Amino acid sequence: MANILVTGANGQLGSEIRELSSSDTETYFFTDRETLDITNKAKVKSFIEDNSIDTIINCAAYTAVDRAEEDQTSADVVNHQAVKNLAQIAKENNIKLIHVSTDYVFNGQNFRPYVETDPTDPQGVYGETKLAGEKALQATNPKNSIIIRTSWVYSSYGANFLKTMLRLGKERDELGVIFDQVGTPTYARDLAETILEILPKVANEQVEVYHYSNEGICSWYDFAKAIFELSNIKCNVKPIETKEYPTPATRPHYSLLNKAKIKREYSIAIPYWRESLVECLQIMGERQ
């Protein structure tokens, strides 16, 4: 029976893992920055030894993309230095490690879905620090460790695009949403299920990188339209260009990820994004 540490446990992905693991036979330790500071290597090492941890799922991240442009130090500490700590501890203690990364490691200018071996070229501090974390993990190279890049994550937990649209759609008659950024929404519950499913199968000498999002393609505009349609919200959605909604950080215009590798190597099925959106909205309705 495994003793599994889940960092960033109060975020979208960590919360979904917590819910899904409630009926699991493994022992889980869910931590956030208040209960375990992963930027403090000594504290992490002590926690791992005290609780006989043999598996780490790192969901912790500095995800405030715009704020990171002015707070590079904080972003780097969490997205890079903390990952380096976990990698070193995993190697020293022969611990399995799953680390979650992002499509922001790419420049968003591709013309086909990104594969794991495509050149990285982050366009902002968030992507740069997440890539630095990936490289630190790969350089340390603990056995039985993988990186999963994902994109456009939403959930019934936490703050995300879905919840923002539901709130604004009820407050306004019309809303402008960006149409020239395309990708695939990722339901955090689907990613959590995949992580728990593949966890026992992870066995590799070198760090492997995988891509995961839901299937299909849409723009943020399409995503918003689907949210309102499925929620019966009467709000007119107007397509706008990225330049009409300037932000401190550059967003990728193209975030499609090729999932062939993870599907092939772990024999998993990935749901279509709209079907997962329906499921998430149903769960949110049941909790009201």
Q: What is the pLDDT along the chain (288 residues), one digit of tens a residue?
A: 789 999 999 999 999 999 999 877 889 999 998 999 999 999 999 999 999 999 999 999 999 999 999 999 999 999 999 999 999 999 999 999 999 999 999 999 999 999 999 999 999 999 999 999 999 999 999 999 999 999 999 999 999 999 999 999 999 999 999 999 999 999 999 999 999 999 999 999 999 999 999 999 999 999 999 999 999 999 999 999 999 988 999 999 999 999 999 999 999 999 999 999 999 999 998 654
- Sign of dihedral through CA atoms 230, 262, 99, 196? positive
**What CATH topology corresponds to 3-155+186-214+257-271?**
Rossmann fold (3.40.50)
Q: Residue ranges of the domains in the chain? A: 3-155+186-214+257-271
Report in angstroms the alpha-carbon separations of 105 from 117, 138, 148, 265: 12, 15, 12, 23
| pLDDT for residue 26 | 87
| pLDDT for residue 286 | 63
Are 47 and 5 in contact, with CB atoms under 8 Å apart? Answer: yes
Report in angstroms the alpha-carbon separations of 45 from 4, 136, 232: 14, 18, 50
Residue numbers annotated as active site: 126
| pLDDT for residue 288 | 47
- Sign of dihedral through CA atoms 53, 213, 190, 176? positive
